[in-house]
């Protein structure tokens, strides 16, 4: 995408989205600092981003990408989102009209970044932010187990500029106050105790498989 090419459609978004994340950070459900620290598909390191999904299943799959054989505990939350300027990157015709290569969205961004190269999806995000987009609706690239051949493509909503107020308002749904207010339940002694505990094997799994030898 260049300054001389058509821009992707920019639409308002008003609806529910979902996010599954490490329970350690359940008291910061709208924080994008984790993405800023590590980088993401659509944000370079140093840029906060809030990655959410348009359905619960996709949110779970996105959060479990690093654990394909043994799902880890996650906190799943819903969010009410009302944003004025969201780039639409899920429509192939719109991408073609805007001169955006779908391969740029699907790039192996982690491999590129680890080699000191700039992922094209980062450059695209930079361009959209410069257009004053608050976020983008994008395809999900999380692997799914046995997806139906005719299943619709899963979608995410990634935000770069958000707060509790317009023009891009994000509010976690926690009507009964179930989310923790701070991280006191994750004090050092508690975490050390949990790390020392040896995980129990799953059915059909030997304990030697669970407790991998140190290399």
DSSP string, 8-54: PPEEEEEEEEEEEE-GGGTT-TT--HHHHHH-BTTB-TT---EEEES
**Average pLDDT of the segment spanning 146-171:** 90
Do β-strands 75-88 and 135-139 pair in parallel, antiparallel, or remain unpaired? parallel
| Res 209: pLDDT | 44
| Res 208: pLDDT | 47
In tens, the pLDDT along 97-120 reads 999 999 999 999 999 999 999 999
Domains of the chain, residue spans? 10-143+150-194
| Res 214: pLDDT | 46
Percent of the chain with pLDDT over 90: 67
pTM (two decimals): 0.83
Tokens standing for residue 78: 């819903």
Contact 125, 44 (CB under 8 A): yes
What does the DSSP assignment read for the chain?
--TTSPPPPEEEEEEEEEEEE-GGGTT-TT--HHHHHH-BTTB-TT---EEEESSHHHHHHHHTTT-SSSPPP-EEEEEEEEEEEEEE-S-HHHHHHTT--HHHHTS-HHHHHHTTPPPHHHHHHHHHHHTT--EEEEE-----SS--TTPPPPEEEEESS-BSSTTEEEEE--TT--S-SSSGGG-HHHHHHHHHSPPPPPTT--HHHHSPPP-
**Average pLDDT of the segment spanning 120-127:** 96
User: Any idea which of 58-72, 104-118, 178-192, 194-208 has the lowest mean pLDDT?
Assistant: 194-208
Contact 153, 140 (CB under 8 A): yes
Query: How far is the CA of 163 from the CAs of 85, 93, 159, 203, in angstroms?
Result: 14, 31, 10, 44
Contact 1, 10 (CB under 8 A): no
d(CA 43, CA 46): 8
Contact 1, 100 (CB under 8 A): yes
Q: Residues 6 or more apart from 188 whose CB is under 8 A from it?
A: none
Which CATH architecture best describes the domain 10-143+150-194?
A: Alpha-Beta Complex (3.90)
In tens, the pLDDT along 25-78 reads 999 999 999 999 999 999 999 999 999 999 999 999 999 876 656 788 899 999
């Amino acid at each position: 995408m260049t300054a001389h090419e058509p821009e992707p459609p920019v639409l308002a978004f008003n609806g529910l989205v979902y996010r599954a994340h490490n329970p350690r950070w359940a008291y910061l459900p709208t924080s994008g600092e984790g993405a800023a620290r590590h980088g993401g598909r659509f944000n370079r390191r140093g840029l906060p981003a809030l990655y959410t999904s348009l359905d619960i299943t996709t949110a779970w799959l996105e959060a479990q990408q690093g654990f394909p054989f043994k799902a880890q505990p996650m906190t799943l939350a819903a969010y009410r989102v009302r944003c004025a300027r969201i780039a639409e990157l899920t429509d192939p015709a719109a991408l073609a009209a805007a001169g955006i290569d779908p391969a740029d969205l699907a790039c192996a961004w982690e491999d590129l970044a680890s080699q000191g190269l700039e992922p094209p999806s980062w450059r695209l995000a930079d361009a959209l932010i410069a257009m004053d987009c608050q976020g983008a609706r994008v395809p999900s690239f999380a692997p799914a187990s046995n997806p139906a051949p005719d299943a619709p493509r899963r979608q995410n909503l990634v935000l770069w500029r958000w707060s509790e107020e317009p023009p891009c308002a994000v509010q976690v749904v926690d009507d009964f106050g179930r989310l923790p207010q701070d991280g006191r339940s994750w004090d050092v002694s508690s975490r050390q105790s949990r790390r020392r505990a040896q995980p129990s094997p799953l059915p059909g799994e030997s304990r030697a498989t669970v407790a991998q030898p140190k290399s």
